[in-house]
Structure 1
Amino acid sequence: MTVPELRNYRRDAIVGLLRHRRAHVDPDPASPAFDPVSDRRVAGMRREEVAWAAGISLDYYVKLEQGRMLNPSPSVLRSIMDALQLSDLDRRYLGLLFEDAEPHVVRTTAGDRDRARATLDEVAAHFPAATMRHLLDRDLGITLPDAASRRVLFPGVAEPPGEVSLVEYMFSARYRRYSHRVYVDWRDKAAEVIGLVHMKLATRVASDALTATVQRLLDDPAFRRLWTRYVPYENASGSWRVRLVDSGGSAGDGKGAGTVRDLSFLTVTAPDDPEQSLVIYR
């Protein structure tokens, strides 16, 4: 598989999303474009069926799905979204990808960021019994403010880091042995992290550093397979099954004893800096 170049992100994401969602929608047997006799060599809907359901020509839809047209009218785009039965988040994501104008990005000062951090620290203090707390910045960098939280993500490590890139933690050779151990449903968590990055790129707030990290990881076929599904993510709450390793256990070699707990999480965003948030696991 060709390694995507992030400088072509908008075009590649539009193509990838349309193809992926089309393959996961069952065709409508009542559609005049549906042919129950011929050999269906593709999963889900055929291009002809999407075009008919959206009320556009096949040639027009093919150009869109091949990334040769990036300016459909709002009504046409809504019709395609309806035909593909896209979720609300998929609709927002696809709309951002087709948007020519630069999205409005809140510009923050150092003072804004300091006030946001102070606010989030104050909120965190109201959850002393939390299993884990971490601050998340615009580049998905994690700051672990206490020793207990660091031990959760880095079990068995004598001096765990207080800061780490969430993307690196999940996928890099240096850290993924820990994330595989800690997150029981690692693949789902990995898809969430990739979905967060997709939204950063679609809203064009991803920094050069985050973009460079992703470009490097795209050389890994496993990362690339998840990436090219183009599934965005933006949940502020939910739950994950997390393995908590007993004190003194060594998860680094996969042999440490541990207890699996279903931890709910809540994300709090600072009003002074919307790109900075606190995630609390309980």
Structure 2
Amino acid sequence: MAQSELGAYLSTRRALVSPGDANLPSVGRRRVPGLRREEVAMLAGVSVDYYVRLEQGRERTPSPQVVGALAVALRLGEDDRQHLFRLAGLSPRARAAAVSDRVDLSLLELMTAWPNNPTIVYNRAFDVLASNPIADALFHSWTHSRNLMHIVFTDPGARTFYQDWRDVARNSAAGLRLGYGKAPDDPRIQQVLTELLSSSPEFAELWTRHDAHGKALQSKGFHHRDVGPMTLTMQTFDVRSSPGQELVVYHAAPGSTSAHALALLGSLAASTPQSV
């Protein structure tokens, strides 16, 4: 029996936890990084045979108590914990038909009220559904694609545009994995995933890591061809009126060189009439 998504996820998470992280002695030579299977089983309070069957895909229906214990043993964060429960079939997954790509009119009006802050709305497949003029200017009017995953992994200029491209790539792949876990039957997610696996070796390698987490408050460095380098802080919000959509707002530290660059970008955006 082939290894299940659940088994693969457990295996990759186990490799990320050292004996020291779990307050276990490191005894003997280890052939692989991270915890041994028997150590995870001990920490979770299950038999070694049962845990081995979970990783190998011979057992696919663990109880909520077991999954919760595994999440603790593997030191999972909240996004990873929820992803584990979904893979175990213990949390509802979104139906593709329930996800709308229509952006609420009131949200569009709010985005236009932030002319100095690049603002976008995207879906689980990272298709940009709406953007304000300064966001259009930041992302070069979306000349390569309006899909953020395609921009990161298939745009030849991405490694220059994103100052920390490797971190951006890793986080982007983890974000798509999280969306895929929530709605694996979404045809658009499946399409983007297939395209990236066939066109980007870097994405294909990151996908095997099974990282799954969403965006949080973080800074991202850009090098814009018109205004130069700038570091922007991102705030990400779930759009409650449209589950599956996320709103991202960028801003720069007041008085910083990045703020000056962003103001110049806003002037350029204002000189080119656009619509959200």
Shared fold (TM-score, shorter chain, > 0.5): yes
Query: What is the identity, as a one-letter code, of the residue corresponding to 1:95?
Result: F
Corresponding residue to 1:136 among 122, 126, 130: 122
Matches within 5 A, 1:48-63: 48-63=38-53
Q: Hey, what's the Cα distance between the residues in 2 that align with 1:146 and 1:48?
A: 52
Q: CA deviation at 1:72?
A: 0.8
For residue 120 of structure 1, what is the aligned residue in structure 2? 107
Q: Hey, what's the Cα distance between the residues in 2 that align with 1:23 and 1:236?
A: 24
Q: Contact 2:184–2:190 at 8 Å: present in 1 too?
A: no
Query: What is the identity, as a one-letter code, of the residue corresponding to 2:143?
Result: P
The CA deviation string for residues 231-274 of structure 1, in whole angstroms up to 9 with x for no partner, is 11223532211112226xxxxxxxxxx22x22012234443312
Matches within 5 A, 1:5-24: 12-24=4-16
Q: Hey, what's the Cα distance between the residues in 2 that align with 1:266 and 1:101?
A: 26
For residue 61 of structure 2, what is the aligned residue in structure 1? 71
TM-score (norm 2): 0.78
Corresponding residue to 1:161 among 143, 149, 161: 143
State whether structure 2 residue 174 is matched by structure 1 residue 190. Answer: no
Matches within 5 A, 1:96-111: 96-99=86-89, 102-103=92-93, 105=95
Q: Hey, what's the Cα distance between the residues in 2 that align with 1:147 and 1:125?
A: 8
For residue 246 of structure 2, what is the aligned residue in structure 1? 277
Q: Contact 2:37–2:48 at 8 Å: present in 1 too?
A: yes
The CA deviation string for residues 162-190 of structure 1, in whole angstroms up to 9 with x for no partner, is 96111211112xx2x23222211112111
Q: Hey, what's the Cα distance between the residues in 2 that align with 1:77 and 1:108?
A: 27
Q: Contact 2:94–2:183 at 8 Å: present in 1 too?
A: no
| Secondary structure of the corresponding residue to residue 157 of structure 2 | helix
Query: What is the identity, as a one-letter code, of the residue corresponding to 1:235?
Result: K
Q: CA deviation at 1:226?
A: 0.7
Gaps of 5+ in 2: 252-276
Query: What is the identity, as a one-letter code, of the residue corresponding to 1:94?
Result: L
State whether structure 2 residue 222 is matched by structure 1 residue 242. Answer: yes
Matches within 5 A, 1:185-224: 185-204=164-183, 207-219=186-198, 220-224=200-204
Pairwise CA RMSD of aligned residues?
2.9
For residue 259 of structure 2, what is the aligned residue in structure 1? none
Gaps of 5+ in 1: 1-7, 248-257
Q: CA deviation at 1:118?
A: 1.1
For residue 27 of structure 1, what is the aligned residue in structure 2? 19
Q: Hey, what's the Cα distance between the residues in 1 that align with 2:91 and 2:165?
A: 36
For residue 252 of structure 1, what is the aligned residue in structure 2? none
Q: Contact 1:150–1:161 at 8 Å: present in 2 too?
A: no
Q: CA deviation at 1:64?
A: 0.7
Pick closer, same or farther for the CA change 1:109–1:69 going to 2, 3 Å. Answer: closer
| Secondary structure of the corresponding residue to residue 146 of structure 2 | strand
- The count of corresponding residues between Structure 1 and Structure 2 is 248
Query: What is the identity, as a one-letter code, of the residue corresponding to 2:171?
Result: E
TM-score (norm 1): 0.76
| Secondary structure of the corresponding residue to residue 54 of structure 2 | helix
Query: What is the identity, as a one-letter code, of the residue corresponding to 1:24?
Result: L
State whether structure 2 residue 180 is matched by structure 1 residue 180. Answer: no
